[in-house]
Amino acid sequence: MPEPSEQEGASRVRRGRGRRPAAEVCADVLEAAGALLLEGGMGPFTIEAVADRAGVSKTTIYKWWPSKGALALDGYFHAVESALTFPDSGDIEADLTAQLRAFVHVVTRTPAGRVIAELIGQAQTDPDLAAALLKRYSGPRRELAVETMLRARSRGRLRADVDPEVLVDQLWGACYHRLLMPNLPLTEEFAVSLVANLMRGVRG
Amino acid sequence: MPEPSEQEGASRVRRGRGRRPAAEVCADVLEAAGALLLEGGMGPFTIEAVADRAGVSKTTIYKWWPSKGALALDGYFHAVESALTFPDSGDIEADLTAQLRAFVHVVTRTPAGRVIAELIGQAQTDPDLAAALLKRYSGPRRELAVETMLRARSRGRLRADVDPEVLVDQLWGACYHRLLMPNLPLTEEFAVSLVANLMRGVRG
């Protein structure tokens, strides 16, 4: 971990704290980035604004994050993470439904939906942001979902020949489809139907 | 339909044609727009380039299309439409699989995938483009898919209590998820699994 710069030292003094451990500084930066994003979206989001809010120097932020996009994605992940944990009741249909309802709630009832839609949108023409999106957001979120489904599969609750990765696209991917191309509303009822269709099958 | 302008008359003469009916001019514009998009994506796509290629005036194009984005979306729809027709063999699983494989082929093996990804991306921060996307692309494509599924439902091949609109998100939406956040590849095998999972159910 880098030594704090003078500027950062000054910030610490300004905030009336002692010497802060790097992990604490890092957590403050993520907290500030997430809060700024949820308040104003990507428009006013700058490294400088995050540095100000977290009481650290821009230099410190640049030591840990290669770009504004990378910081935005980590901040976003940090801000939504606790709302999107996977329950483990043993009933995979109930657990997936509960997590998807929470996900739909976060992206429709808080500014998080516009933020992630803008980040995904910008990533289509910004290769650095695209790489950060896959590595810092969609990859880790996908892993958490797959873990949950593999656990269900090992308990015999999901068919052994079904690829959990495909289910991720048919559950959360379906929600992103309604978020990014909102011909129809993204609702909690929709989330319930997504899981029910897959678990039960739709054949007449 | 508007009278052709002088400039357009000159283009027609330059191309050695007689007076063209409006429908033919419109078809030429869509053809030119689609071809330009698939050749170079949104970067070099301009109303002027489409006008040049179609041999019409920019004024004519502006009479029919309110913006570059609207023209791009109509041109894109026109370019991919014939490859993405829905077969009707009576076997809904086979028909959906065939159409989804064709869709995956178009978006992964031709420049169409980058074009629609860029359009969806830009639409996240451009309200006019977003409205055009819903009205001119995702809405009509969604309708075609729902028609196919309602036909299957009326034949008893899909459960009566299943909403075909949700299936659209779980099939094509799942593909867009892999197109826009490519943590995993978008393949024809993936398309096959999407339909199989929904038709059969994934419960263990």
User: Which of B133, B162, B177 is the closest to A197 by Cβ?
Assistant: B162
Q: How many CB pairs under 8 A join A and B?
A: 163
Contact across the interface for B170 and A197, Cβ inside 8 Å: yes
For A95, the enclosing helix (H) or strand (E) is: helix A92-109
Higher-confidence residue: A170 or A111?
A170
Indicate if the pLDDT at residue B5 is higher than 70. no
Please name which of B45, B63, B62, B41 lies closest in space to residue B53, comparing C-alpha atoms: B45
User: Which of B122, B182, B202 is the closest to A121 by Cβ?
Assistant: B122
Contact across the interface for B181 and A134, Cβ inside 8 Å: yes
Note the pLDDT of residue B26: 95
What torsion, rounded to 10 degrees, do the Cα atoms B151, B154, B157, B158 define? Answer: 90
* pLDDT tens track for A19-61: 788 899 999 999 999 999 999 888 889 999 999 999 999 999 9
Please answer whether residues B175 and A175 qualify as being in contact, where contact means their C-beta atoms are separated by less than 8 angstroms.
Answer: no
User: Which of A180, A190, A201 is the closest to B166 by Cβ?
Assistant: A190
Please tell me the distance in Å from B9's CA to the nearest CA on chain A: 38
CATH for B6-64, options being 3.20.20.80, 1.10.10.10, 3.40.1180.10, 1.10.10.60: 1.10.10.60
Please name which of A14, A111, A24 lies closest in space to residue A72, comparing C-alpha atoms: A111
Higher-confidence residue: A17 or A131?
A131
Contact across the interface for A118 and B124, Cβ inside 8 Å: yes
The predicted model gives B76-89 an average pLDDT of 94
| B161 part of contact set with chain A, CB < 8 Å | no
Q: Name the band, by pLDDT with cuts 50, 70 and 90, for residue A90.
A: very high
* pLDDT tens track for B128-148: 999 999 999 999 999 999 999
Note the pLDDT of residue B85: 94
B197: tokens are 């999972």
Taking the C-alpha atoms of residue A61 and residue A59, their distance in angstroms, rounded to an integer, is 5
Q: Which residues of B touch A190 (CB under 8 A)?
A: 166, 169
Please answer whether residues A184 and A178 qualify as being in contact, where contact means their C-beta atoms are separated by less than 8 angstroms.
Answer: yes
What is the predicted ipTM? 0.89
Please name which of B167, B132, B140 lies closest in space to residue B153, comparing C-alpha atoms: B167
* pLDDT, mean over chain A: 91
Q: Which residues of B touch A116 (CB under 8 A)?
A: none
Q: For the domain B85-200, what is the CATH superfamily, name and number?
A: Tetracycline Repressor, domain 2 (1.10.357.10)
Question: For chain B, what percent of residues have pLDDT higher than 70?
Answer: 91
Residue pointed to by tokens 């606790």: A82
Note the pLDDT of residue A3: 44
The architecture of the domain spanning A77-200 is Orthogonal Bundle (1.10)
Please tell me the distance in Å from A145's CA to the nearest CA on chain B: 14
| A182 part of contact set with chain B, CB < 8 Å | yes
Question: For chain A, what percent of residues have pLDDT higher than 90?
Answer: 85
The predicted model gives A89-118 an average pLDDT of 95
Residue pointed to by tokens 């009481």: A55
Q: Name the band, by pLDDT with cuts 50, 70 and 90, for residue A1.
A: very low
Note the pLDDT of residue A8: 47
Q: Name the band, by pLDDT with cuts 50, 70 and 90, for residue B16.
A: low
Indicate if the pLDDT at residue B99 is higher than 80. yes
B70: tokens are 């609207």
Stretch 80-119 of chain B: residues touching chain A, C-beta under 8 Å: 93, 117-118
Note the pLDDT of residue B6: 44
Please name which of A194, A178, A164, A171 lies closest in space to residue A84, comparing C-alpha atoms: A171
Query: In chain B, where are the structural domains located?
Result: 6-64, 85-200
